[in-house]
Amino acid sequence: MSSLNNLLLPAVLFFALGFIARLIKSDLRFPPDLAKVLSIYLLMAIGLHGGYELAKADLMMALTSIMWALILGFSLPIAGYLGLLLTGKVNPMDAAAISAHYGSVSAGTFLTAIAYLDNISVEYETYPLIMLAVMESPAIIVGLILAVKARHTLAAKEGSSSSEDKAQMADDDDENNSGFGALLREAFTNGSVVVLTGSMIIGAISAPSGMAKLEPFIDEIFMGVLCLFLFDMGMVAARRIGDFRQVGPVLALFGVVMPLFGGVVGAYVGANALGYGVGGTTLVAVLGASASYIAVPPAMRLAVPEANPSFYLTLSLGITFPFNVVVGIPLYHNLAQAIVA
């Protein structure tokens, strides 16, 4: 499947339409809460479908998929953090916040990849749906740990050695520890994680007759809702493209190189560690290449106020998301074909 055919998917074309509408300063606007409603529907539909399929799946394979989702979720942010520090252009706090986005997942990118595979009639395993639900939280945890470490490192460099300063740092540590626990709880109870995981459980335990009645809701309107979702995301991405000058060429390059790196790692995990076919391997590669733009930004804004939001928002939503939707997905599919074959 060529990149041109991927561009001609209706969902991708609506993303482009939203992007163009914003660039030409159209007065078109989505109702404020509509994007949330669309996101909830998409996660619910894919969770129900995945849970129904997983009820018929092998338990050991599902547990193995969860294990590798955790490995990817914890390791990719660390790799991104080290890569950012090596550039010498990013301070540790910004590096921690940015890297947390690369290791978490983008449901929009994943759903677009599913549409791509459906469009070319490529079957795929349902286990990546479990990985999608699992990979949201580990990257947030890693980002928080890296930020705490960076905060202490920066404080030590500033030479805070007086007794008053040490007492203040101890008080700050107590606040950070209590806040850290709250943030961990928030990571695991994040709305997208709850909807996706809960829907998968419902799909897995529901009677087949009940699931059959939900088929129009899960399948028939899915692509139309995805088009609306990507239409809105195109406008949001266009708003962020204006921050490109603040991000700079080095970080912009990171927004392309990091998903490619994660995609290669994900493809090898899907094909060799998990033994998936071309479709499943493509989806794992997409998970590895994703950058979160929904769950991680608010967590980083709360936990790492020192980091510049325009950096991580522009990278994840203005650069990595469009790159993956337009160019990355067919690349990961071709890579999966090469590895699996």
Q: Six-digit token pair at 165?
A: 């300063």
The 10s digit of each residue's pLDDT in 15-71 is 788 889 988 988 888 887 887 788 788 878 877 877 887 777 788 888 899 899 999
* Cα dihedral across residues 130, 132, 137, 142: positive or negative: positive
Angle at 197 between CA 191 and CA 200, to 5 degrees: 135
Place 79 in a pLDDT band, splitting at 50, 70 and 90: very high
Task: State yes or no: pLDDT of 180 exceeds 80.
Answer: no
Distance separating alpha carbons of residues 327 and 139, to the nearest angstrom: 24
Nearest to 234 by CA among 125, 322, 168, 129: 322
Split into its structural domains, the chain has a count of 1
The 10s digit of each residue's pLDDT in 206-249 is 888 888 888 888 878 888 888 888 788 778 777 766 666 666 78
Lowest mean pLDDT among 145-159, 167-181, 202-216, 260-274: 167-181
> Which domain covers residue 107, as residue numbers?
3-340
For the chain, the average pLDDT equals 81
pLDDT of residue 209: 86
Place 164 in a pLDDT band, splitting at 50, 70 and 90: very low
Q: Write the Ramachandran bin of 121: left for phi over 0, alpha for psi from -120 to 50, otherwise beta.
A: left
- The DSSP code for 242 is G
Instruction: Determine the average pLDDT of the residues in 111-125.
Output: 90
Q: What is the CATH number of the domain that holds 269?
A: 1.20.1530.20
Helix then strand then coil, % of the chain, to nearest 5: 80, 0, 20
Distance separating alpha carbons of residues 303 and 149, to the nearest angstrom: 13
pLDDT of residue 78: 95
Q: What is the pTM of this model?
A: 0.75
